[in-house]
Amino acid sequence: MPPAASRTIRIGLVQSACTADREANIAQAIAGVAAARADGADVVCLQELFAGEYPCQAEEHDRFAEAESVPGPLTERLAAAAREHQVVLVGSVFERRSHGLFHNTAVVLDTDGSLAGTYRKMHIPDDPHYYEKFYFTPGDTGFVSVPTSQLQVGPLVCWDQWYPEAARLTALAGAEVLFYPTAIGWLDGEEQLHAEQYESWDTMLKSHAIANGVFVVAVNRTGREGPLRFWGASVVYAPNGQRLAVAGHDAPAVLVVDCDLSRIEWSRTRWPFFRDRRIDAYAGLLARWGEA
């Protein structure tokens, strides 16, 4: 097989601040898709649950009314945007699967508007102001690579960012870029931890790129919602850990970044971590703790 030829994909990131006005949130996201495409984007990723304010700061049954089926009205609007602008679009939806059964779901739309694939968030947090276990059932899609007309999309969602297993299995499925729609921020009263929290998050993203020889894209929301200040800083890492672009913490932004996918093979042949994996020795990963 000949060496991988240069294949550059332009990836757009739409970082937004949301309000209680659902229609305005959707409109700004779609405007961000248009702006990214105008700057040459081939693939665009939106932030986690972009259609509304982050719903999980409290356990409120009324919030379930915000959920909808996939495919459904919001997915169709994303499909129309993907088709109009001829981009692959990664979106994030509060999915109503059945009565009392909800997921935090990433949808991948191809350039013709078709639903290329879905991923249901596997790791569900339960922390102060991130009460996602009240709302979301853990996903059952497994870790997937979604083939599209532009590239192999590896959809993951927010809390998945902290799990090397999620990144590794998605890369092993064939993903060329790991996409993380995200809603992560600082909590009032923890100011002494803010720098440490952000740096830990950023380091994890960089490490996934290096360990798996893939591009990593995280699109985080910005702005204040109650006691949470979402820290933005949407970012792209190359397979060798080079930071290609990063947005600011406090303002909406649209970034478009060139990603030469031939760098995947370049990195994996120089740092052959996949080659040297000891798959015969990893059974312990399936245990909850130690040898139990």
Q: Is the peptide bond before 147 cis (omega within 30 degrees of 0)?
A: no
Regarding beta strands 152-155 and 88-98, do their DSSP bridges make them parallel or antiparallel, or are they unpaired?
unpaired
Instruction: Return the number of other C-beta atoms located less than 10 Å from residue 125's C-beta.
Output: 15
State the pLDDT at residue 290.
82
Q: Is 90 exceeded by the pLDDT of residue 96?
A: yes
Name the active-site residue from 158, 176, 206, 225.
Answer: 158
State the pLDDT at residue 1.
54
State the pLDDT at residue 6.
82
State the pLDDT at residue 3.
64
| pLDDT (tens digit per residue) in 172-224 | 999 999 999 999 999 999 999 999 999 999 999 999 999 999 999 999 999 99
Q: Where are the alpha helices (DSSP H) in 86-193?
A: 132-135, 164-172
CA distance 134 to 61: 9
pTM, entire model: 0.96
| pLDDT (tens digit per residue) in 135-180 | 999 999 999 999 999 999 999 999 999 999 999 999 999 999 999 9
Per-residue confidence at 118, pLDDT binned at 50, 70, 90?
very high
Instruction: Return the number of other C-beta atoms located less than 10 Å from residue 279's C-beta.
Output: 6
CA distance 34 to 31: 5
- Would residue 23 show up in a list of annotated catalytic residues for this protein? no
State the pLDDT at residue 5.
74
Residue in the structure block whose two tokens are 């739309």: 109
In contact, 178 and 167? CB cutoff 8 Å: yes
- Would residue 18 show up in a list of annotated catalytic residues for this protein? no
CA distance 123 to 166: 9
Name the active-site residue from 121, 206, 225, 259.
Answer: 121
Instruction: Return the number of other C-beta atoms located less than 10 Å from residue 8's C-beta.
Output: 11
Please calculate the CA angle 258-163-102 and round it to the nearest 5 degrees. Answer: 95
The partner residues of 71 in beta bridges, in order of sequence, read none
Residue in the structure block whose two tokens are 């639903």: 115
Name the active-site residue from 18, 45, 48, 132.
Answer: 48
| pLDDT (tens digit per residue) in 59-70 | 999 999 999 999
Q: What is the mean pLDDT of residues 259-267?
A: 97
CA distance 267 to 1: 17
CA 193 vs CA 31, 199, 204: distances in Å: 34, 10, 17
Residue 210 backbone dihedrals phi, psi, to 5 degrees: -70, -50
For 8-286, which CATH class? alpha beta
Q: Give the chain's mean pLDDT.
A: 96
Q: What is the mean pLDDT of residues 80-105?
A: 98
Contact partners, residue 13, CB within 8 Å, separation at least 6:
36, 44, 45, 217, 219, 234, 236, 245, 247, 253, 254, 255, 256, 257
CA distance 227 to 284: 40
Dihedral of CA 184/188/190/191: which sign?
A: positive
Q: What is the DSSP string of 133-150?
A: HHH-PPP-S-S--EE-SS
State the pLDDT at residue 2.
61
Q: Please report which helix (H) or strand (E) contains residue 160, including its range.
A: none
Per-residue confidence at 91, pLDDT binned at 50, 70, 90?
very high
Residue extents of the structural domains in the chain: 8-286
Q: Is 90 exceeded by the pLDDT of residue 30?
A: yes
Regarding beta strands 253-260 and 8-15, do their DSSP bridges make them parallel or antiparallel, or are they unpaired?
antiparallel
Query: What tokens appear for 168 in the block?
Result: 């590794």
Dihedral of CA 97/152/45/245: which sign?
A: positive
- Would residue 133 show up in a list of annotated catalytic residues for this protein? no
CA distance 25 to 51: 5
